[in-house]
Amino acid sequence: MVDNPRIAGVVVLYQPDLNRLAEALPTYAPQLDVLYVFANSPVAEFPIDAPRVEWIHSTDNVGIAAALNTAAARALREGCTWLLTMDQDSHFTADGFAELQRAIPLLPPRAALVGPDYLDQGRSAVRPRPVRLLIQSGTLVHLPTWQHLGPFDEALFIDGVDHDYCLRAQAQGYGVYEWPQSRLNHALGEIYPLPAWLFTFHRHSKRGIAFHKPYREYYEFRNNIWLIGRHGPKFPRWALLRLGYLALRLVYAVSILPERAERLRAIFRGIRAGLKK
């Protein structure tokens, strides 16, 4: 890999918390060659303080995948090799993004993605370690590989976009890598607190169940069912884990999460849509 590639970044804004965004941007924006701010909103621009910003505006909410594809295509045209994809409420800790940049020349050939240890599992490695999945936020996407693999799946709209891309890359012989020296603080939504002992067997510390507004359950269930059908034959262990994840989401929706009726309606609409493909 090239030691000093041009790196673009994109942060997608939808009803952003501007205070949280203002805290996040300094952890990565100054080190980018260009930052695309994709306003997925009727509002064209928000008051932000960051260098080398290019605004992209969509009056309709086109979803995360379409926003990432738009930014990736523009970054390629502007001579960039990598694209950092960020959520509006994620930030690197300490020198996390500088560490992620230092991982680039350590990557083997055919690396499609490299990302931080967003679970803060305290691991170390002398070289980027292969993993099955990375989350979208905080990940560097190798743009020539993106061009070869094809765009992020815009039909997914939001949930599962990162899983789908990681699995597609590996199915075509590309690698997905984590650099444990880079850490990211990633907000997963609201937290329903639960006793720590319930998560004894988790690989990372948890203090409760993350959840979003009920409408997101539709995309969680529809998209995961789609992706299990798409990738399950080649990645059966991943598919079984996703089925377990959906089962837990259903249990949580029935038992502890708020707005139960609306949440369950969204879940069953998502199941129906997923099975219809």
Give residue-wise pLDDT tens across range 152-209.
999 999 999 999 999 999 999 999 999 999 999 987 667 767 666 455 545 556 667 7
**Beta bridge partners of residue 82, listed in sequence order:** 7, 142
Cβ neighbours for 12, distance < 8 A, ≥ 6 positions apart:
38, 40, 64, 67, 68, 86, 87, 88
How far is residue 13's CA from residue 87's CA, in Å, rounded to a whole number? 8
Residue 122 has pLDDT above 90, yes or no: no
How far is residue 175's CA from residue 172's CA, in Å, rounded to a whole number? 9
Domain identity same for 118 and 235: no
Percent of the chain with pLDDT over 90: 77
Domain identity same for 212 and 157: no
| Host domain of residue 165 | 7-186
Amino acid letter, 236:
P
Report yes or no: 43 and 17 within 8 Å, Cβ to Cβ.
Answer: no
Chain-centre distance of CA 183, in angstroms?
14
Instruction: Using only the alpha carbons of the chain, give its radius of gyration.
Output: 18
How far is residue 260's CA from residue 173's CA, in Å, rounded to a whole number? 42
Domain identity same for 207 and 122: no
Least confident of 93-97, 166-170, 210-214: 210-214
Establish if 1 belongs to a structural domain: no
Report yes or no: 100 and 197 within 8 Å, Cβ to Cβ.
Answer: no
Domain identity same for 226 and 264: yes
User: Pick from 170, 186, 202: which residue ends a domain?
Assistant: 186
How far is residue 28's CA from residue 42's CA, in Å, rounded to a whole number? 26
What's the start-to-end Cα distance of the chain, in Å? 38
Q: How many CB atoms lie within 10 A of CB 162?
A: 23
What pLDDT is recorded for position 58? 93
Domain identity same for 154 and 271: no
Considering the entire predicted model, what is its pTM? 0.93
**Beta bridge partners of residue 141, listed in sequence order:** 83, 113
Residue 29 has pLDDT above 80, yes or no: yes
Tabulate helix, strand, coil % of the chain (nearest 5). Answer: 40, 20, 35
- Average pLDDT, stretch 97-119? 95
Strand 53-58 and strand 34-40: the pairing is parallel
Domain identity same for 95 and 172: yes
Domain identity same for 181 and 206: no
Report yes or no: 145 and 71 within 8 Å, Cβ to Cβ.
Answer: no
Report yes or no: 168 and 105 within 8 Å, Cβ to Cβ.
Answer: no
